[in-house]
Chains A and B, each alone.
Chain A
Amino acid sequence: MDLRTTYMGMELKHPIVASSSPLAGSVANIKRLEDAGASAVVLFSLFEEQLKHDSAAMEHLMTAGTESFAESLSYFPEVDDYTVGPDTYLDLLRRSSAAVDIPVIGSLNGITNTGWIEYAQLMQQAGARGIELNIYYIPADLTTSGREVEDRYLDIVKAVKAAVTVPVAVKLSPFFSAIGSMAKSLDDAGADALVLFNRFYQPDFDLDRLEVAPNLQLSTPDEIRLPLLWIAVLYGKLRASLGATRGVHTPIEVVKYLMAGADAVMTTSALLKNGVNYLSTLRDGLKTWMEIHQYESVAQMKGSMSQQNVADPTAFERANYIKTLESYKGNYA
Chain B
Amino acid sequence: MTERQVTTIDGNEAAAYVAYRVNEVCTIYPITPSSTMAELADQWSAEGVKNIWGTVPLVMEMQSEGGAAGAAHGALQTGALTTTFTASQGLMLMIPNMYKIAGELTSAVFHVAARSLATQGLSIFGDHQDVMAVRPTGFCLLASNSVQEAHDMALIAQAATLEARVPFIHFFDGFRTSHEVNKLTLLTDDEIRAMIPDDLVLAHRARALNPDRPFIRGTAQNPDTYFQSRETVNPFYAKVPGIVQAAMDKFAGITGRRYNLFDYFGDPAAERVIVIMGSGAEAACETAAYLNQRGEKVGVLQVHLYLPLSASHFLAALPTSVKSIAVLDRTKEPGATGEPMYMDVVNTLFEAQATGTLPMAILPRVIGGRYGLSSKEFTPAMVKAVFDELRKDQPKNHFTVGITDDVTFTSLEVDSNFIIESDQVVRAMFFGLGADGTVGANKNSIKIIGDDPEFYAQGYFVYDSKKSGSQTVSHLRFGPDPIRSSYLVQSANFIGCHQFNFLDRGDVLKRAAQGAIVLLNTSPHEPEEAWDRLPRPVQDEVIAKKLEVYGINAEKVARDNGMGTRINTIMQTCFFAISKVLPRDKAIEKIKYSIKKTYTRKGDEVVKKNFEAVDNTLINLRKIAVPATATSTRRLPPIVPAGAPDFVQKVTAMMMAGRGDELPVSALPIDGTYPSATTQWEKRNISTFVPIWEPNICIQCGNCSMVCPHGVIRSKFYHDASLEKAPAAFKHAPIDARGFPDIRYTLQVYLEDCTGCGLCVEVCPAKSKEQTGRKAINMAIKEPVLEAERANIGFFETLPEVDRGRVDFSTVRGVQFLPPLFEFSGACAGCGETPYVKLLSQLFGDRLLVANATGCSSIYGGNLPTTPWAVNHEGRGPAWSNSLFEDNAEFGLGFRLTADKHLGYAQELLRALADKIGADLVDDLINAEQITETDIRRQRGRLAELKQRLSEIADPRARQLLAVVDQMVRRSVWIVGGDGWAYDIGSSGVDHVLSTGRDVNILVMDTEVYSNTGGQMSKSTPMGAVAKFAAAGKQVGKKDIAMQAVSYGNVYVARIALGANPQQALLAFREAEAYDGPALILAYSHCIAHGINMQRGLDQQHLAVESGHWPLFRYNPAVRESNENPFILDSPRPKIPLKKYAYNEMRYKVLAHTNPQEAEHLMDLAQQAINRRWTMYEDMAARSGDTFHPKFKP
Contacts and interface: CB of A to CB of B under 8 A. Distances in A.
A112 to B, nearest CB: 6
Best-surrounded residue of B39, B468, B1146, B1154 (most CB of chain A within 10 A): B1146
A68 B1092 contact: no
B1011 A72 contact: yes
A80 interface: yes
Given A52-B603, A69-B434, A75 B772 contact: no
A181 interface: no
A75 B1015 contact: yes
Interface in A156-188: none
B1154 A71 contact: no
Contacts of A70: 32-33, 124, 175, 179, 463
B1039 interface: no
B411 interface: no
Interface stretch (B42-50, B529-537, B947-955, B1077-1085): B42-50
B1146 A61 contact: yes
B470 A76 contact: no
A63 B598 CA distance: 14
B1031 A77 contact: yes
Contacts of A141: none
A155 interface: no
A62 B467 contact: no
A112 B859 contact: no
Interface in A76-124: 76-85, 88, 112, 114-115, 118
Contacts of A85: 601-603
A55 B124 CA distance: 34
Interface string B1141-1152: 000001101100
Point out which of A62, A68, A81 has the most chain B C-beta atoms below 10 A from its C-beta: A68
A151 B1013 CA distance: 55
A309 interface: no
B1091 A62 contact: yes
Nearest to B600: A85
A61 B434 contact: no
Contact of A76 (B46, B47, B601, B1026): B1026
A22 interface: no
Contacts of A118: 604
Chief secondary structure at chain B's binding surface: mixed
A65 B1088 contact: yes
B1091 A114 contact: no
A73 B1014 contact: yes
A76 B1150 contact: yes
A75 B470 contact: no
Contacts of A52: 603, 605
Given A67-B439, A70-B124, A71-B1014, A55 B603 contact: yes
A280 interface: no
B42 A77 contact: yes
Contacts, number: 125
A78 B43 contact: yes
Nearest to B1089: A75
B604 A65 contact: no
B767 A72 contact: no
A74 interface: yes
A64 B1154 CA distance: 20
B1156 interface: yes
A76 B772 contact: no
B1154 A79 contact: yes
A41 to B, nearest CB: 19
Contact of B1031 (A59, A65, A71, A79): A79
B434 A76 contact: no
Q: Which of A58, A66, A70 has the most CB of B within 10 A?
A: A70
B80 interface: no
Query: For this complex, into which size category does the number of interface residues on chain B fall?
Result: 35 or more
B1062 interface: no
A210 interface: yes
Contacts of A55: 602-603, 606
A74 B601 contact: no
Contacts of A67: 434, 437-440, 461, 463, 472
B1094 interface: yes
Looking at chain A's contact residues, is the secondary structure mostly helix, strand, loop, or mixed? loop
A249 to B, nearest CB: 27
Given A72-B1014, A83-B1153, A85-B602, A65 B828 contact: yes
Given A65-B467, A77-B1026, A88 B435 contact: no
B1027 interface: yes
Given A65-B1088, A67-B472, A114 B1146 contact: no
Contacts of B1153: 82-84, 88
Given A65-B467, A77-B39, A210-B767, A114 B604 contact: yes
B463 A211 contact: no
Nearest to B1088: A65
B1093 A61 contact: yes
B1028 interface: yes
Contacts of A210: 767, 772
B1146 A69 contact: no
B1146 A76 contact: yes
B770 to A, nearest CB: 11
A83 B1146 contact: no
B602 A76 contact: no
Contacts of A71: 32, 124, 859, 1012-1014
Contacts of B33: 70
A9 B193 CA distance: 62
Contact of B1014 (A74, A80, A82): A74
A59 B435 CA distance: 13
A273 B606 CA distance: 40
A175 B225 CA distance: 97
B47 A80 contact: yes
Interface in B18-52: 32-33, 39, 42-43, 46-47
Among A62, A79, A112, find the residue whose CB has the most chain B CB atoms closer than 10 A: A79
Interface in A31-73: 51-52, 55, 58-59, 61-73
B121 to A, nearest CB: 15
B931 to A, nearest CB: 38
Given A67-B472, A72-B1012, 17 more contacts: A61-B1146, A62-B1146, A65-B434, A68-B463, A69-B470, A70-B175, A70-B463, A71-B859, A72-B1014, A74-B1014, A75-B1015, A75-B1088, A77-B46, A82-B1154, A83-B1153, A88-B1156, A211-B772
15 contacts: A52-B605, A64-B1094, A65-B467, A70-B32, A70-B33, A71-B1013, A72-B467, A74-B1015, A75-B1089, A76-B1015, A76-B1091, A76-B1147, A82-B1154, A83-B1154, A85-B603
Interface of A: 51-52, 55, 58-59, 61-85, 88, 112, 114-115, 118, 210-211
The 8 closest A-B pairs by CB, nearest first: A68-B434, A72-B1014, A75-B1015, A67-B439, A77-B1031, A210-B772, A75-B1089, A65-B1088
